[in-house]
Structure 1
Amino acid sequence: MPDDVIQGALFGSLDAEPAVPAPAPGELRVCALNINNPSVQHAQQTLAWLLAGRSDVLVLTELKASDGAKLIISGLAAEGFEVCLPPGWADGSYFTVVATRGLPQTSVDGPGDPRVVAVDVEHASRQIRIIGLYGPTNGMTTDSSDRRRAFQKTFLEYLHTALRPRLLLAGDLNVVEPGHQPPLASFEEHDYAFYTGLQRLGLADAFRQAHPAARDHSWISDRYGAQRLDHLFATPATGTLVNCGYDHTPRTSHITDHAALLATFALGTSA
């Protein structure tokens, strides 16, 4: 991570040597959260919430190169997380980060869009590819639809080349599943095709796998309806899904407008 990001941190533990907790043997704990380009105040609250969790992997979306985002990035680094930033993250665009703690991490080439970041991690004698994604927002206009369609096509082409037997994709994808309840007229066929395209590549929706019939939403709007926009998809070889669900604390405490998606995988001991 660039030195100026570290030096610009406002988090008080930067001068301390972090005590890095080891991941639980044979488990991988993942948290995906849209942090909504926070102010410094909200960034401090978000960072405290993230550090209070037990996640080994954090996928954070909707960041910009702001003081709030830099506080979170440098604060995580100060607490022993290795933070992967995509190329172009500082140019003013929205970007995604993947942060891991206690896991050897190697960055992987992405499609050239800072909304996408990929790393390989080593855990429990196996390599797992982790891809973080922040999909373009549904602006409910023709231009918005065209941008989403083009982005989704490019990303699926990239994912086809980046696919590995053990792969986890997480983030605010800004799409909903076919048959979403409540029905949302603002989503179009290409949005549903993107969701099913992930499944055709062998990735399973972890929330739906854990809760085949449950209704829960990660973003709630009186105007636009409750939407399950934040997802975690994984290949079967990644591990056995132990649990997956939404923690609404970040949303209900107003540090962001999204719920966090939390999941745990049992990896076993096979290579």
Structure 2
Amino acid sequence: MTDDAWQPMLFGATTAEGSTEDGPADELRVCALNVNSPSPGRAQRIVDWLLATKSNTLVLTEMQPSDGGRHILACLQAEGFTTTCTPGWTDVRYLTVVATRGLEATRVQPAGFDPRIVAVDLATDDTTVRLVGVYGPTNGMTPESSHRRREFQHQLLDYLAAIHHPALCVAGDLNVIEPDHHPRLPAFEDHDYAFYTGLLDLGLRDAYRTLNPAGGDHSWINARFGNQRLDHTLISPGAGQITTCAYDHTPRSEDLSDHAALLTTLGLPSASGATTRRPG
């Protein structure tokens, strides 16, 4: 799907390219949220909340080319965000969108096997971070679901190896949990844990786990299937310093989504190679 397919509903105030309205461009402030296929009414509430986070980069998963999805994209574009999704997918069920403001965004070679993956280079004057947004297939707890997830996971690892970048960030609803997840969830299989481990083998760090070694947060809460930490941000050391990473459950508590958002702040390297950190 090209970005042009989202254009008909532009409205609202705009922000000039390069604006620092959301803070300095020496930070990457990523909000990853599964928007849960919103209706137009819920879509407007989601946009209002996203803007309030002051994030300069949004990774939106479980998007659909529906009225709700178009509403979110049109509102973000009107607010000065550049939106990127996989081109050429006009009749898909689900896709991932990356929206960014105040950073130069350039589309990276698409993952031709699935519109659930979108990659973009985000550039400042000093550095470029390659961001890959991902919406992994849901665990349907059936043999067919397992096969679909396994194939997707293998293809994604191959794709990430092919487009590898010294400053790499992978974010979104991966629909997998870490091998020592608590509680233990027998519905996940060896290939799910191998996929998570494979991401780390690419040199990526789990941002939440890096800052919260003993943290027990979950991003999807379900009494029947068990609470699960499905949403992740994984970052290579070359991308900068992870300064904050936390789950915000407001989208769940306010019925915007059935997922918590994952908010991550990354201090970007300067031209001298040092990582810029704001005081405090």
Structures share fold, TM-score greater than 0.5: yes
- CA displacement at 1:143 relative to structure 2: 0.3
Q: Is the 8 A contact 1:88 1:114 kept in 2?
A: no
The DSSP-based 3-state class of the residue aligned with 2:46 is: helix
Once the two structures are TM-superposed, the CA of residue 89 in structure 1 deviates from its matched residue by 3.8
Once residues 185 and 107 of structure 2 are traced to their aligned partners in structure 1, the CA distance between those partners, rounded to angstroms, is 36
* Inter-partner Cα distance in structure 1 for 2:218 and 2:171: 15
Question: C-alpha distance in 1, partners of 2:156/2:4?
Answer: 30
Q: TM-score, normalised by structure 1?
A: 0.95
Any residues of structure 2 matched to 1:32-111 within 5 Å, and which? 32-111=32-111
Consecutive unaligned residues in structure 1, runs of 5 or more: none
1:87 positional shift: 2.2
Structure 2 SS opposite 1:156: helix
CA contact (8 A) 1:93 1:114 kept: no
Aligned residues: 267
Partner of 1:105: helix, strand, or coil? strand
Q: Which residue of 1 aligns with 2:218?
A: 217
**1:179 and 2:180 aligned:** yes
Which letter does structure 2 place at the counterpart of 1:144? S
1:31-53 Cα shifts (integer Å, max 9, x gaps): 10000010111101001101111
Cα separation, 1, equivalents of 2:155 and 2:217: 29
The residue that corresponds to 1:142 in the other structure is: 143
Contact 2:239 2:269 in 1 (8 A): no
* Counterpart Cα distance in 2 of 1:257 and 1:251: 5
Give the Cα separation in 2 of the matches to 1:240 and 1:25: 14
Paired AA for residue 114 in structure 1: P
Provide the rounded CA distance (Å) in 1 between the counterparts of 2:231 and 2:131.
15
Aligned structure 1 segments of 4 or more residues deviating by more than 6 angstroms: none
Deviation of 1:24 (Å): 1.2
Corresponding position of 1:249: 250
Can you give the 5+ residue segments of structure 2 that lack an aligned partner in the other structure?
Answer: 274-280
Q: Secondary structure at the match of 1:195?
A: helix
- How far is 1:26 from its partner? 2.1
Confirm whether residue 202 of structure 1 aligns to residue 203 of structure 2. Answer: yes
Sequence identity (%)? 52
Quote the RMSD (CA, aligned, Å): 1.4
Displacement, 1:201?
Answer: 0.6
Aligned residue among 9, 15, 19 for 1:18: 15
TM-score, normalising length: structure 2: 0.92
